[in-house]
Amino acid sequence: MTDEVKEIQWTIHTTHPNLVKQVRDRLSEVVDPEIGMNIIQLGLVRDISIENDIARMKMILTTPFCPYGPAMIEMTKAKAVEGLNMPITIEMGAEMWDFSMMEDPSALDWGMYA
């Protein structure tokens, strides 16, 4: 396993690079309460794109039936609107999360995975 941080590249990295830092900063405030890590660290935000001044985000949860899922989705939407300063729709992806999706593998040191 590598300890290299791998920032997920969203569509806005190419189309709206000036918005990437501010939206990442806002989304980093959304923490998965069971794991104690934010949705950026966990790699739950899979893509963000903007068309006609409306943002679209694809995200996943760590488990399909996460009890905190609805609250995390609402908080994610609110923080994305703050960071992008435009309306956003969130589409839930069908892919299953696993630790390889994390941006920072060294965060695995919290001991959940051996």
Write down the domain spans for the chain. 12-109
Architecture of domain 12-109 in CATH? 2-Layer Sandwich (3.30)
The CA distance from 52 to 55, in Å, is 8
* Six-digit token string for 84: 């992008």
The CA distance from 111 to 114, in Å, is 7
The pLDDT assigned to 114 comes to: 42
Query: Which tens digit of pLDDT belongs to each residue from 52-107?
Result: 999 999 999 998 888 899 999 999 999 999 999 999 999 999 889 988 888 876 66
DSSP 35-90: TTEEHHHHT-EEEEEEETTEEEEEE--SSTT-TTHHHHHHHHHHHHHHHHSS-EEE
The CA distance from 47 to 69, in Å, is 18
